[in-house]
Chains A and B, each alone.
Chain A
Amino acid sequence: MIRFLALVALLTLSASGAVQAKEAVPVAEDPVLEARLAELAAELRCLVCQNQTLAESDADLAKDLRREIRRMMQQGLNDAEIVDFLVQRYGDFVLYRPPLKTTTALLWFGPLILVVIGAGVGVVALRRRRRRVAAAPLSAEETRRLEHLLRRRAS
């Protein structure tokens, strides 16, 4: 009897589980597509919580966008087309690797420019210091005092 009840309970549970999991069915159906989704979503920024990727974020919009990306993948769109879809709506900001454009040139080359400026300042400073050290011959007076001091020390 107990075994029978347990079986009924188990069947009921699994049945309701199947109903609840309706939306998640494609996940189990196509692991390849899910892997592709996860990889692409990791390259995209969630606009609601801006320091998370679309793959990590739990925001409603991120879920909707993942669903939308999944749908496009099922329709056979390639990654570039899907990224294009998102950029058209949300701008380059969704990309963690923004394209090279006039508006993003500073973003891409800024660090390099800073390194060049830093290196330039460093070279100039080092040269100046070397010149200062080399160009300091003693005057006659100084030589005399130096010899005097050395002699005093020796005696």
Chain B
Amino acid sequence: MGRRLLPFAIFLLLAFFLAVGLRLNPSEVPSPLIDRPAPHFSLPLLADPDRVVSEHDMLGQVWLFNVWASWCSACLDEHPLLMQMAMRGELPIYGLDYKDRAEDALEWLEHRGDPYVLTVADQDGRTGIDYGVYGVPETYLIDPHGVIRYKHIGPLTAHVLEETILPMARELRQ
């Protein structure tokens, strides 16, 4: 009896591993930056290129750093959610306009609404490399000490926001 069940047990084990494998998203690579200080940047504001902003300016608060671009179609998916969040005002969102033309980006924001406290422009993508950006949109949750606590790759969803990001942000604020 045991001998007959063995192949079945092996089959179940294999099926389990394959099922888990199917649910994983191979394009989501874990970031080595979690629990590390947010990489330094010093970038001009999209709306006012004479003003330069760095990550130090955001110290003391929990904030979201959202990497987006006007050419990025997936950014449209998460945009309504970001607008809602901006309205609620619970968690400030700062934007990183990644490898974009300033005119296009400004028009995009004007046309669709601007959920960002401010947006810095990373025209050559150098800051994106420091943050390990490889697919826009990407979103980082950064704590009051400037440490990255969470990274989401791809468009934000209401589920991730309500179940993961906002609870983490509340905890970090205490």
Which residues of A does B touch, CB under 8 Å?
47-48, 50, 60-61, 64-65, 68, 87-93
Residue on A nearest B131 in the bound complex, by CB: A89
Main secondary structure of the interface of A (DSSP, over half): helix
Chain B 122-144 interface mask (CB, 8 Å, partner A; 1/0): 00111011111111000000000
Contact of B135 with A90 in the complex, beta carbons under 8 Å: no
How many chain B residues touch A (Cβ–Cβ < 8 Å)? 20
Contact of B29 with A64 in the complex, beta carbons under 8 Å: no
Beyond A68-B129, A89-B129, whether A61 also contacts B134 by CB under 8 A is yes
Beyond A61-B134, A64-B125, A68-B129, whether A89 also contacts B29 by CB under 8 A is no
Residues of chain B contacted by A68 (CB below 8 angstroms): 126, 129
Interface stretch of the complex, out of B30-38, B48-56, B85-93: B30-38
Residues of chain B contacted by A93 (CB below 8 angstroms): 29-30
Say if the beta carbon of B99 comes within 8 Å of chain A: yes
Chain B 17-35 interface mask (CB, 8 Å, partner A; 1/0): 0000000001101111100
Beyond A64-B125, A89-B130, whether A48 also contacts B135 by CB under 8 A is yes
Contact of A89 with B26 in the complex, beta carbons under 8 Å: no
- Which listed residue, A64, A87, A92, touches B129 by the CB 8 Å rule? A64
Give the Cβ gap from A89 to chain B, nearest Cβ, in Å.
Answer: 4
A88 to B130, CA, bound (A): 9
- Which listed residue, A61, A64, A65, A91, touches B31 by the CB 8 Å rule? A91
Residues of chain A contacted by B130 (CB below 8 angstroms): 89
Contact of A91 with B29 in the complex, beta carbons under 8 Å: yes
User: In the complex, given contacts A60-B99, A89-B39, A92-B32, what are 12 additional A-B residue pairs having Cβ atoms less than 8 angstroms apart?
Assistant: A47-B29, A61-B125, A64-B125, A64-B128, A68-B129, A87-B32, A89-B130, A89-B132, A90-B32, A91-B29, A91-B31, A93-B30
Residues of chain B contacted by A61 (CB below 8 angstroms): 125, 133-134
Residues of chain A contacted by B31 (CB below 8 angstroms): 90-91
A131 to B12, CA, bound (A): 31
Residues of chain A contacted by B39 (CB below 8 angstroms): 89
6 residue pairs, one from A and one from B, having the closest CB atoms:
A47-B134, A89-B132, A91-B32, A93-B29, A90-B132, A64-B125
Residues of chain B contacted by A89 (CB below 8 angstroms): 32-33, 39, 129-132
Residues of chain B contacted by A65 (CB below 8 angstroms): 129
Contact of B32 with A88 in the complex, beta carbons under 8 Å: yes
12 A-B pairs in the complex with CB atoms less than 8 angstroms apart: A47-B135, A48-B135, A50-B26, A50-B27, A61-B134, A68-B126, A68-B129, A87-B32, A89-B33, A90-B132, A91-B132, A93-B29
Residues of chain A contacted by B125 (CB below 8 angstroms): 60-61, 64
Give the Cβ gap from B143 to chain A, nearest Cβ, in Å.
Answer: 20
Residues of chain A contacted by B32 (CB below 8 angstroms): 87-92
Give the Cβ gap from B124 to chain A, nearest Cβ, in Å.
Answer: 8
Give the Cβ gap from B92 to chain A, nearest Cβ, in Å.
Answer: 25
A68 to B133, CA, bound (A): 14
Give chain B interface residues in 112-126, CB to chain A under 8 Å. Answer: 124-126
